[in-house]
Structure 1
Amino acid sequence: MPREARRKSASEVYHVMLRGANRQEIFHDDEDNMKFLDILKKYKRISKFALYAWCLMSNHVHLLLKEGEEGLDTTMKRIGVSYASFYNWKYRTTGHLFQDRFKSENVETDQYFLTVVRYIHQNPVKAGISPRVEEWKWSSCAGYYDQVYYPGGMLDRNKVFKMFGEGRSIAKDQFKEFNERTNNDECLEDIYKKRKLTDEQAREEIKRLLGEVEIAQVKSLPGWQRDHQLIKIKTIEGLTLRQAARILGVSVSLVYRAGI
């Protein structure tokens, strides 16, 4: 059966989710995250799309963008193929890295536009892997807060600030309050509903990742070995920092600081 064609957004703005095949990890270290962002910036320049928000998680990516001089499908294919080539070269693997087709939804009102920006920035917080939106270095949040972000020069933030008034300073303050506000936002949730792990499920996922290392041994490992294991454990979808700390018998701050 042929795939249903995407419905064109009247605003040409889309919320895009790019996910690893079979939910596999697509970013294993800082180099991977930086490479994807470098590729994103390259094709932003080539395709001339506007980029309003992004967030890189361990096995998926959120983008909020406006089509440029080519269709969304073409742009996302360029980005996906380029990163997959790097990934397969670096890790000496073959086969599909991403699911066959990225997911997207049309963003056609100002209200929903702002909802998606906030949803994207709060992704790491709601997943329990970052305590605050601005502390996740692989999202666009830092750019909105006038902090240094990688790779720089990629964020189109004027559209957002204009929605909060003409004065830039006041607009930034009002956006920050909005961006951090507690909410029940749902975006693309009809496609991918985030799972919440029970402690029993979390324990089994942790055991699987640790391999021959016992859960009880993690807290006694040498610092670099312990952090290496914690970094892996933090990628488990649906696992919170508090849950990981409780199961491993370590502090929440220790889990949080691993890899930072």
Structure 2
Amino acid sequence: MRFRYDDEGTPSGSNCTYYAYCLMSNHFHLLIREREESVGETIKRIASSYVYYYNRKYGRDGHLFKERFKSEPVNDMAYFTTLLRYIHQNPVKAGIVEHVRDYEFSSWGEYDGSVDSVFQICNVDTVLNRIPFEDLNALVNEPLADDINCLDIEDPSKRRPSDDQVWQMIIEKSGVTNASAFQQLNEELKREVLRELKKHGASHRQLERLTGIGRGVIQKL
């Protein structure tokens, strides 16, 4: 609870709109919308408040979170729902719990009603007005593909190919040398090439950037 509320009992980083969160042992995930302040200012506010509380409670000092935050814009509903699934499935993927509903430190309890409305900080109604709870529940509990790594959060031991290496593979498999030409290929060949590139470690974001093919399309392959 302390991570979500400041000393005055208001949601930490309340100058934004929350849609989802998940607090893990050494990092946290947020799905938020900017309002009066930037994402960077919001994260600083939340992290600073929590680190101050944590250090004071446990008699320690110094940093608690080691790396700078990563952020990425959400431009469509397909990616929004992917992030909802990714965030809430993080504890399941980490082997901490068996089901999304079993994890105490995420926003899923606000969606399924197990958290009292007094303690809710997420704009649940906006999401449920777009996606009925039955559909959202099924979606969030459907396992994500192993290669879906939002913000490219991944196992450091898995090396991504460089952009030049990706383009070399595209040229070898399709004969085209630029994004416009790749987009003009027949659908079957495009899908075949993209699947092969994913097998070789190319990320969804990298493929979207290099080929101009939408991430939603790439994720479904």
| TM tier relative to shorter chain | 0.5 to 0.7
User: CA shift at 1:195, angstroms?
Assistant: 7.2
Cα offset, 1:183, TM superposition: 2.0
Q: Distance in 2 between matches of 1:145 and 1:89?
A: 33
Superimposed CA distance per residue, residues 162-219 of structure 1 (whole angstroms, 9 cap, x where no aligned partner): 322xxxxxx111111111112213212x2x31479xxxxxxxxxxxxxxxxxxxxxxx
1:65 counterpart SS class? strand
Match of 2:121 in 1: 154
Give the conservation status (yes or no) of the 8 Å contact 2:74–2:80: yes
Q: 2:12 aligns with which of 22, 43, 58?
A: 43
How many Å separate the matches in 1 of 2:92 and 2:81? Answer: 17
User: Deviations for 1:28-83, whole angstroms, at most 9, x for unmatched residues?
Assistant: xxxxxx211123953344x2x11000011111110000012111111211111111
Residues 1:187 and 2:150 aligned together:
yes
Contact 1:37–1:150, Cα closer than 8 Å, also in 2: no
**Percent identity of paired positions between Structure 1 and Structure 2:** 39
Residue identity matched to 1:130 = V
Residue 4 of structure 1 is matched in structure 2 by none
Q: Aligned partners of 1:125 and 1:195: how far apart in 2?
A: 20
Runs of 4+ in 1 over 6 A off after TM superposition: none
Question: Which one-letter code corresponds to 2:106 in the other structure?
Answer: S
Q: Deviations for 1:150-171, whole angstroms, at most 9, x for unmatched residues?
A: 972311112322322xxxxxx1
What amino acid sits opposite 2:74 in the alignment?
A: V
Structure 1 Cα separation of the partners of residues 117 and 155 of structure 2: 27
For 2:138 and 2:67, the matched residues in 1 are separated by 37
- 2:97 is matched with which residue? 130
Verify the 8 A CA contact 1:140 1:149 in the aligned structure 2. no
Helix, strand or coil: the match of 2:30?
Answer: strand
Task: Output aligned runs, 1:69-218, within 5 Å.
Answer: 69-99=36-66, 101-148=68-115, 152-164=119-131, 171-184=132-145, 185-188=148-151, 190=152, 192-194=153-155
Structure with higher Rg: it is: 2
Contact 1:121 1:179 survives alignment (8 Å): yes
Q: CA deviation at 1:121?
A: 0.5
Shift of 1:139: 0.6
Which AA in structure 2 matches 1:183? Answer: L
**How many residues are paired up?**
153
Structure 1, unaligned runs of 5 or more:
1-33, 165-170, 197-260
TM-score (normalised: structure 2): 0.63
Q: Which has the higher contact order (CA 8 A, sep 6+)?
A: 1
Change (3 A) 1:183 1:42: closer
| TM-score normalised by structure 1 residue count | 0.54
The amino acid across from 2:4 in the alignment is L
Give a deviation string over 1:121-154, Cα, whole Å, max 9, x none. 1011111110100110111111111212697231
Note if contact 1:37-1:151 (Cα within 8 Å) is conserved in structure 2. no
Question: Partner letter of residue 82 of structure 1?
Answer: S
Distance 1:50 1:175 in 2: 19
Equivalent position of 2:196 in the other structure: none
Matched AA of 2:11? K
Contact kept? 1:124, 1:133, Cα under 8 Å: yes
Q: CA RMSD in A?
A: 2.2
* Structure 2 runs not aligned, ≥5 long: 158-221
